[in-house]
Amino acid sequence: MHQSRACAAWFAAWAMLFGAFAPGARADDDLTLANLNILHGLGCAPDLCRVPDRIDLLFDWIADAGCPDVVTLQEVNDLPAQAHQSRALIEAELATACGGQYDGNSVYSDVQDIDEEMLLSRYPILSSEVLVLHSGLAPNFTRHVLYAEIDHPAGAMDVFTTHLSSGSDQATNPCSPCPAACTAAGATTNRECQAVQLADYVNLKNDTATPAFVTGDLNAEPGSFEYEHLVAQGWSDTHLAVGNAECDPLTTGAAGCTSGRESGDPSELESTADNVDRRIDYAFLVRASPSSSLCVRLDGAGDLDGDGTATRVFADVSNPFAACGASPSAICWPSDHEGNEVDANLGCAVVPTSPLAGYALLAGLLLAFAVALTRRGLLRSS
């Protein structure tokens, strides 16, 4: 565990001791998640931009994030003609990663074996299915949604993950012929239609009493039709919900950004520089049905409950586990993307009952701010 997360965990333990949290507030039924577009690497033959090294680093980050309940991935490949396929590399890690908690609990979209979604779970997967979306290059190449129902201790939990179209597969081309539901919702392009179909599918499938997650690389920034259509469903953009910075590279550098790194060669994957300047990767929280009695609180970037998982950008600093650079050094980044990390605590907020507890909560907010600055190198630790 690198220093910023270790500090957050230390404070959480201190705060619990002095009353900022009720005893047992770190419950096993918290809903925790990490999401990342892992980069297929097809532009970097023959080793797919050092994909074995990148998958190793991915699992270092998963462990560092407290072994989230669910990990969702995009751009996973399983092409027989290519060596070092990411699906096989990921599956080879499952027996030992996080003590084997994900072993036997993974699903893969398996539509065309290129640019697939994959989901790992610490808990049994009750069911799963794939929805193929309207796609500009169909039937040769399609986009899709991977859905799984997880047997979580808090109750059955729905998780959806997707990767919407980019310019390489006609994302902004006119939607024609366009499904009636897309036209009715105002979609005019292929990717806008995919966002409509995603929302409709989630609204159709999600019927659990626990919150659901919708994750993925939308290839669309906040303010776009795609993004606005999803938040119009009442879904919470978890990154903004806890006060994290919006991506604004002109004023705040890489803070809050998740994409922009060179993907056609390993140069920027081997650099300690961030090189991200857009936010196109998301983890949306779909609240439980109105009849549910569950209270949901998102744990912010400071990880106040000390479980290692927080609501923040995932894998957003250069390799903190080893000195990195060009081969044979360790690689600096697992992907051309940074991802999402979410900790949804179940149970209503505990109101401080003593001045000391109130001070602890205030200190926690200050710590979260300091952690965010430290992770971006704006503060130096001794």
pLDDT for position 12: 43
CA angle 119, 196, 179 (to 5 degrees): 115
Tens digit of pLDDT for each residue in 223-278?
Answer: 999 999 999 999 999 999 999 999 999 999 999 999 999 998 899 999 999 999 99
pLDDT for 305 equals 87
Per-residue pLDDT for 329 more than 70? yes
Whether 333 contacts 57, CB under 8 Å: yes
Residue 365: pLDDT over 60: no
Q: What is the pLDDT of residue 290?
A: 64
In sign, the C-alpha dihedral spanning 63, 47, 104, 340 is positive
Q: pLDDT of 10-20, one tens digit each?
A: 444 433 333 33
Could you tell me the two tokens for 278? 């857009």
Structure tokens at 374: 């430290």
Cβ-count burial 338-375 (b if 16+ within 10 Å, e if not): bbbbbbbbbbeeeebeeeebeebbebbeebbebbbebb
pLDDT digits (tens, 9 = 90+) for 36-52: 999 999 988 789 999 99
Residues in contact with 4: Cβ distance below 8 Å, sequence separation at least 6, in sequence order: 371, 374, 375
At 192-227, the pLDDT tens digits run: 999 999 999 999 999 888 999 999 999 999 999 999
Strand partners, 236: 285
pLDDT at position 207 is 87
The pLDDT-based confidence of 356 (bands split at 50, 70, 90) is low
Q: What is the pLDDT of residue 346?
A: 86
pLDDT tens per residue, range 169-179:
999 999 999 99
- Please report the pLDDT score of residue 368 as a whole number: 53
Q: What is the pLDDT of residue 289?
A: 65
Q: Determine if the peptide bond prior to 334 is cis (ω within 30°).
A: no
**Tokens (6 digits) for 13:** 């333990």
- pLDDT given for residue 83 in this prediction: 76
The predicted structure's pLDDT at residue 214: 99
> 80-91: per-residue pLDDT in tens?
877 789 999 999
- The Cα 106–Cα 95 span in angstroms is 12
- Domain 28-344: CATH superfamily is Endonuclease/exonuclease/phosphatase (3.60.10.10)
Closest CA to 84 of 146, 121, 42, 115: 42
pLDDT at 14: 38
pLDDT of 179 reads 98
Q: Which helix (H) or strand (E) holds 70?
A: strand 70-76
- The domain spans of the chain are 1-25+350-375, 28-344
